Amino acid sequence: MDEVFRRLDDIREDLTALYKDLHAHPELSFQEHRTAAEVARRLEALGLEVTSGVGRTGVVGVLRNGTGPTVLLRADFDALPVLEQTGLDYASTQRATAADGSDVPVMHACGHDMHVTSLLGALDLLIAARSRWSGTVVAVFQPAEEIGAGARAMLDDGFLERFPRPDVCLGQHVFPFQSGFVGMMSGPSMSAADSVKITMFGRGGHGSQPQNAIDPVVMASATVMRLQTVVSREVSGDDTAVVTVGSIRAGTKENIIPDQAELLVNIRSFDERVRERVLAAVRRIVRAEAIASGAEREPEFEQLTRFPLLVNDPDATSRTTGALRAALGDHAVLDLPPAMASEDVGLFGSAAGVPTCYWFFGGTEPGRFQRALAEDRVAQEVPANHSPGFAPEIEPTLTTGVKALTAATLEWLA
């Protein structure tokens, strides 16, 4: 592996420049046209068979090298509506029009730029080392992971019929622990997630005459508080779930009682039975609070996103973990507990009926992480994914991402 990794010294500078460029030019879900064009250009330069526009903005590169297994490698490349506050000289200043028509700042606040760069680096190493392996690599650059729609869009666009069918699906995600390390999970690894928009209807009126109105602000507020009891009183202590109300919107002026209020609710779970129970409880509570407030119209529920439970196949994870330990060292491979974050990468494996193995790699400067850990202030001192301060330390994060993906792929193709 040392000989395979030696190629990194030749391409690290170019990969670093690519990463900074992608970080400075993030694009929202299904708007990743610049990113997709750059990915396609680089794949063509590497000599892969390239198909663009898969699932709207996705890109697929196929690398054939004789007979053997087919390994799917996946990197997502959409960004988030977040105003960057990292202070980096390559920080994003981009803005875009969101799906609801609003003007928003855009930032790679989840590290997808690092995912793309790592996969392109791994492909370069695999091409240079093609005498060491045999088979096919299908490199998937996926749009719209942040809204849980990109993998489904690519599959609906005939992905399994248009490209070599994989025998295993591999992927990785940068995370805010110490860079230079990777973290593995086996079995149920990342939660299922449901995002729901709830609209509750009242009757508008003058703020001085609440007796003539049905106040949706009070209705929604009571609902928010009641929803906090779902997990604490309806989910067993042996199970895990989270219910978060991330947004509440109502009204335009202090002396006007509005006629409706909107809640955005996020629900996470690791078990389908728990998932359905929590969803049913949320619907029941919302309807009950509307009735209690005298609402004259039923609340409305709109499903915004739905992420599947990610299950890492135990055998595939064990095999991949062994390869990563051999390549990076036993000390650099951690066993992690399941994460409440969500991912749609598992749809590729489940649709193809093949195992999935997905891991995390650290992105925080080692000294910073160790100081925060020693002071029990990791949550306060280390910016997490989706925060305006999140940006992976380029090195050794990039080197680790490239090495991990290369070593895992060679394990399945050598």
Q: Which residues are catalytic?
A: 78, 145
Length of the chain: 414
How far is the C-alpha of 274 from the C-alpha of 236, rounded, in Å? 9
DSSP state letters, 260-322: EEEEEEEEEESSHHHHHHHHHHHHHHHHHHHHHTT-SS--EEEEEEEEPPEEE-HHHHHHHHH
Q: Is 110 marked as a binding-site residue?
A: yes
HSE toward the beta carbon, residue 243, CA cutoff 13 A: 25
| Contact call for residues 381 and 368 (beta carbons, < 8 A) | yes
Q: Is 300 annotated as a binding residue?
A: no
Residue 33 labeled ligand binder: no
Q: Is 357 labeled as ligand-binding?
A: no
Rounded to the nearest 10°, the torsion over CA 348, 396, 182, 146 is -40
Which residue is it, tokens 């499903």? 303
Give which of 315, 317, 346 is closest to 192, Cα–Cα: 346
User: What backbone phi and psi angles, to 5 degrees, belong to 105?
Assistant: -70, 160
State the DSSP H helix or E strand holding residue 407, giving kind and residue range, or none if neither: helix 394-413
**CA-CA-CA-CA torsion for 217, 222, 223, 228, nearest 10 degrees?**
140
Question: Do the annotations mark residue 386 as ligand-binding?
Answer: yes
Beta bridge partners of 174: 361
Q: Which residue positions form the known binding site for Mn(2+)? A: 110, 112, 146, 173, 386
